[in-house]
Amino acid sequence: MEANGTSNMKFALNGCLIIGTLDGANVEIREEIGNQNFFLFGVQADDVPRCREERMAGHFTPDPRFEEAKQMIRSKTFGDFDYEPLLDSLEGNSGYGHGDYFLVGVDFPSYIEAQKEIDIAYKDRRRWNHSSILSTAGFGKFSSDRTISQYATDIWNIQECRVP
Q: Say what the pTM is.
A: 0.80
Q: Is residue 16 part of a domain?
A: yes
Q: Is residue 88 part of a domain?
A: no
Give the residue numbers spanning the domain of 128: 5-57+102-154
What is the tally of structural domains in the chain?
1
> 95 CB contacts (<8 Å, ≥6 apart)?
none
CA distances from 123 to 4, 116, 129, 140 (A): 26, 11, 11, 27
* pLDDT tens, residue order, the chain (164 aa): 455 677 888 888 888 899 999 887 888 889 998 898 999 999 988 899 999 888 878 788 889 999 999 999 999 999 999 998 888 888 865 544 457 888 999 999 999 999 999 999 999 999 999 999 998 998 888 888 888 888 899 999 998 888 88
Residue 53 contacts residue 33 (beta carbons within 8 Å): no
Q: Is residue 32 part of a domain?
A: yes
